[in-house]
Each structure stands twice: as C-alpha cells, then as structure tokens.
C-alpha cells in the first residue's frame, strides 16, 4: 500500500447515522450510508435506536403527540454526539425542526403515491359495500370516505411488516400504504394498484428522504449539500409549507403534493379534511373536503414557500381551519 493511500485512509471522515430499527428505517439508513461511502468517501456506521413512535402501537399517532415521536430520540443522539446524522422519511418530520437542528439535504424521491394492498381485491372500486379498510392516517381516512362513504375504516399501526401481517391474517379486506416503503423493501408485488393523485392525494413529503444534522455542524451541512436533489427539495418545501401554514400536525387530515416542474412551473395541490369527520360518532357535522391548487415558477426556497403559503391561504378561504389545538397528551 502506498504512503499516500494510507494517509487518505486515515483522514477519511468517520460518521455515525442514528436510525430507527424498523426494516424500512434500516433500509433508508443503509441507502444513505452507501451514498456517503461512494460519493463522499466517508466511513459510516449505523446506530440503531427505538423511538417512542415505535413503542406506542396501541393508539393512533394523532392521539399521542404526532410526527415528532419518530424523530426525538434520534435528535438526542445527535445532541449528545453519539451520532452525526439522522435519516428520516420527510413525511414524518415537522417543517420546523427544533432549535439547533438543520435539514442538511433532501434526496431523490421514490414513488410518492399511495398503494392499495389487498389479497382479494385489485382496486378500491372492487371492494364490496361495507368492506373493512385498515389505516391510521387521518388523511387516508377522509380521502377514502370521500371516495367510498360505505367503507369501514379501522385503525392499523405498526411497521410495514406488521401491517401486512395483519392484512394477511384477515383483519382487513384491504389496507393503504405508501408505495415508496413497499418498493424500497422489495414488496412491490404486494401493490395491487397505485392510487391516482386525484383520488388519494399524497402527504407532504411522502416518498422523500431527508438528512438531519446539528445546525452547528457546518462541515456536514456543506458536504451533504452536494448530495441534495434540488427539484425534490423545492417540491417538498412547497408541500411542507402548506402543512406548517395549516398548523401541520397528524391530527389534521391534510394532503399536499406537487407535480412538475413543467412548462408553467410547479403545480401544488392540497386537500384538507375536517378532523371531526374522522371521529366516528362525534355528533359533529363534519365539513366537506376543501381542495386548493396553484401553479407557479419555483426556482428557490423562498418561491417554494410562497407557493405553499398561497395554497394554504386558498384552503383557509375554502373553509379549512388552522389546527389551533395541539394533540391531546397521552391518556388525556
């Protein structure tokens, strides 16, 4: 081995990725590890951790504190220096990270759509009257109810393998999952049909991965920027801005999805559902779904945020209400 090579080896940057231990989270962390090794020549180790979001499986996430649940333990590891970066499904990450953290980059997006998964039926239309569909996402619930008011929507939590097992055990006639997770885990054959965005508008950031670091790690912010997929980053910024502008918590049924950029620019679509319509037997008359869309030229983050704000304003003008109430504390 040459002397120069030994020096290079000694100075290769060593980093640790904090990751949840679900099969999907590990796939995503391994994916980023491979990128950092091949593109930046870094030496990368994984640090597996269990988050509250992984532990609380008996209650709907919207009832126990929302998106931050999958992220917080990983951020503690970054703060304590046990890890240098955390890889997240952007869908699970709030637009505003806690003080002291930064989104260093957003990577290329996998299929952002939702998938219809069933052992007996090929599409939602094929489901018989009153069929049972599993999902714990309020967005999926209200969009499904809009398409098929007769369906019985039952809660479904757990990682992908758990959800598929519950389907296979016969607890549901069909379930709805993000196509991205299934494709990443080689489970594409479980997808019976992919929902058109007009039927099931995806969640903000669905299918995209983000890398989070401590904001004071300029070394990482600078190096990771070279891995960013700029079109995806702008698209998910517009989508996530809608979510933030509407008080974005997962106790509000909200969809936001961009198409393009095309000739006229980036098209942003959003749909808002009344949380009351998700509460069976609440006695409240739920408001109908509110839709909004706008096309604009988006060349930078400011323009992406402006597009997101404009669409959120349209939603509010259409009757959508900001989620003023934080989700109830566990047990409350």
List residues with catalytic annotation: 92
Question: Does residue 36 bind ligand PBG (CB under 6 A)?
Answer: no
Euclidean distance between CA atoms 309 and 244, whole angstroms: 9
Euclidean distance between CA atoms 29 and 46, whole angstroms: 7
Write out the two tokens for 54.
């992984």
Nearer to ligand PBG, 206 or 295 (CB): 206
* Shortest distance in whole angstroms from residue 206 CB to ligand PBG: 4
Q: Give the contact letters, 42-81, x = binds to ligand PBG (CB under 6 A), - = no.
A: ----------------------------------------
- 3-state SS of 104-142 is EEECCCCCCCEEEECCCCCCHHHCCCCCEEECCCHHHHH
Burial letters for 114-134: b for 16+ Cβ neighbours within 10 Å, e otherwise?
bbbbbeebeebeebeeebebb
Q: Is the dihedral of CA 19, 134, 198, 302 positive or negative?
A: negative
Nearer to ligand PBG, 243 or 295 (CB): 243
Question: Which residues from 152-181 bind ligand PBG, rule CB under 6 A?
Answer: 177-178, 180-181
Nearer to ligand PBG, 181 or 308 (CB): 181
Question: Does residue 29 bind ligand PBG (CB under 6 A)?
Answer: no
Q: Give the contact letters, 293-322, x = binds to ligand PBG (CB under 6 A), - = no.
A: ------------------------------
Nearer to ligand PBG, 181 or 253 (CB): 181
Euclidean distance between CA atoms 239 and 243, whole angstroms: 7
Query: Which phi and psi (to 5°) does residue 206 adopt?
Result: -60, 135
Among 207, 210, 248, 275, binds ligand PBG (CB under 6 A): 207
Q: Give the contact letters, 76-115, x = binds to ligand PBG (CB under 6 A), - = no.
A: -------------x-xx-----------------------
Query: Which phi and psi (to 5°) does residue 150 adopt?
Result: -75, -20
What are the residues binding ligand PBG (CB under 6 A)? 89, 91-92, 177-178, 180-181, 206-207
């Amino acid at each position: 081995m040459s002397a120069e090579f030994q020096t290079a080896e000694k100075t290769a940057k060593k980093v640790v990725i904090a990751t949840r231990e679900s099969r999907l989270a590990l796939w995503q962390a391994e994916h980023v590890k491979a990128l950092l090794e091949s593109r930046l020549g870094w030496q990368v180790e994984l640090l597996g951790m269990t988050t509250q979001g992984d532990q609380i499986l008996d209650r709907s996430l919207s009832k126990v504190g929302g998106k931050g649940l999958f992220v917080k333990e990983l951020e503690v590891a970054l703060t304590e220096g046990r890890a240098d970066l955390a890889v997240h499904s952007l869908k699970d990450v709030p637009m505003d990270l806690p003080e002291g953290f930064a989104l260093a980059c957003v990577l290329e997006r996998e299929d952002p759509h939702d998938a219809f998964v069933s052992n007996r039926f090929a599409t939602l239309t094929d489901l018989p009257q009153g069929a049972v569909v599993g999902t714990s996402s309020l967005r999926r619930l209200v969009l499904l109810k809009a398409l098929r008011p007769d369906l019985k929507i039952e809660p479904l939590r757990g990682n992908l393998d758990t959800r598929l097992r519950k389907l296979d055990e016969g607890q549901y006639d069909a379930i709805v999952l993000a196509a991205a997770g299934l494709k990443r885990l080689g489970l594409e054959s479980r997808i019976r049909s992919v929902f058109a965005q007009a039927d099931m508008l995806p969640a903000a950031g669905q299918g995209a991965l983000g890398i989070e670091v401590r904001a004071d790690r300029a070394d990482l912010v600078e190096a990771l920027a070279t891995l960013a997929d700029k079109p995806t980053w702008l698209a998910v910024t517009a989508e996530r801005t809608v979510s933030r502008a509407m008080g974005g918590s997962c106790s509000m049924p909200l969809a936001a999805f961009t198409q393009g950029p095309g000739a006229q620019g980036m098209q942003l679509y959003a749909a808002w559902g009344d949380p009351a319509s998700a509460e069976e037997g609440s006695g409240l008359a739920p408001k109908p779904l509110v839709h909004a869309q706008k096309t604009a030229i988006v060349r930078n983050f400011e323009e992406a945020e402006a597009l997101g704000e404009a669409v959120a304003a349209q939603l509010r003008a259409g009757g959508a209400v900001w989620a003023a109430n934080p989700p109830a504390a566990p047990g409350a």
